[in-house]
Amino acid sequence: MIRKAVFPAAGLGTRFLPATKASPKEMLPLVDKPLIQYAVEEARNCGIEELLIITGKQKRAIEDHFDSAYELEDALTKKGKKELLEMVRKLNHINFAYIRQRAPLGLGHAILCAKPFVKVEPFAVLLSDDVIDPENSLLADMISIAARKQAPVVALESVAAEDVEKYGIIEGEAGADGVYRIKRLVEKPKPSEAPSRLGIIGRYILTPDIFDILETLPAGKGGEVQLTDALNRLAGLRPVYGYLFNGKRYDAGDKLGFLRATVELALKDKVLSAGFREFLVGLMKDEFSSLHSRP
């Protein structure tokens, strides 16, 4: 059973500047919740009890968001706004811990910062940039595979050839039910050098032996300590598996992906969907009319 989850959140968020100059990227609202809350709720739905957020400078808003807000809760109570009060209090009871990554030295270094929290247990890692549709069970499936295989598991997705440079890519042997035995991993290879089109996405079940590798791993691509490089070493020492995810993932790590995620999740929202769909249909009709009216 996985009891602990790690949420790396110390990045600079440069792809969302200027919005992230003073506000954490993880707190950007996706419909009505910040990005990181989707990942936190995903972990909680899998029964994970202890959550660690790896933070950096100017990330205090994340801690405040998951803390109780007495003044707000008191005001909502006095006004009888029970639904809003329940929404605000939803995550108050969760056990959060925070460790600061003092410099942006890469995902591998961020995971290494979690060693005092994790100790000797297997643990989950969730990257809030990758928003998994709440209707899917990716993390739960990975936890089940990790328990069955007694080994680390990374989430995979089939990516377009032109996008392999954005991902860690695996070479692996296909097994049953979308599970691959990984032979090697390459961080952001050129398309001509990629061993496959199976890219790693932001969900991992890791074992504590990853820390021994991270502690001595030199900086890799971009001058950062790459988790993909550490997993590549680990795969030479013990079985490491990948799980091919065929559900819906929203890549909210850049502006276009974030906008797509906003639109699709708003269309799934029970309150917003009807009005938002009507707006989009009208917008497309206006755009279509405009295109055909041009000389």
148-180 pLDDT, tens per residue? Answer: 999 999 999 999 999 999 999 999 999 888 999
- pLDDT for 220 beyond 90: no
The answer on pLDDT for 16 being more than 70 is: yes
Contact status, residue 36 vs residue 62, Cβ threshold 8 Å:
yes
Residue 211 to residue 270: CA distance in whole angstroms? 43
Cβ atoms of 77 and 29 closer than 8 Å: no
Contacts of 83 (CB under 8 A, 6+ apart): none
What does the pLDDT average to over 66-95?
85
What are the tens digits of pLDDT across the range 65-77?
Answer: 888 888 888 898 9
Rounded Cα gap, residues 280 and 204, in angstroms: 36
For residue 21, name the pLDDT band (cuts at 50, 70, 90): confident
Q: Mean pLDDT over residues 60-89, rounded?
A: 87
pLDDT at 295 over 60: no
Let me know the angle formed at the C-alpha of 258 by 254 and 263, rounded to the nearest 5 degrees.
Answer: 155
- Rounded to an integer, the average pLDDT of 4-28 is 89
In this predicted structure, what is the pLDDT of residue 44?
93
CATH class of 4-253: alpha beta
Q: Give the model's confidence band at 284: pLDDT under 50 very low, under 70 low, under 90 confident, else very high.
A: confident
Q: Which helix (H) or strand (E) holds 290?
A: helix 273-293
147 vs 134, higher pLDDT:
147
Exposure on the CB side of residue 100, measured as CA atoms within 13 A: 8
Q: Over the range 76-93, which residues count as b (16 or more CB within 10 Å of their CB) and which as e?
A: beeeeeeeebeeeeebee
Mean pLDDT for the stretch of residues 128-137: 91
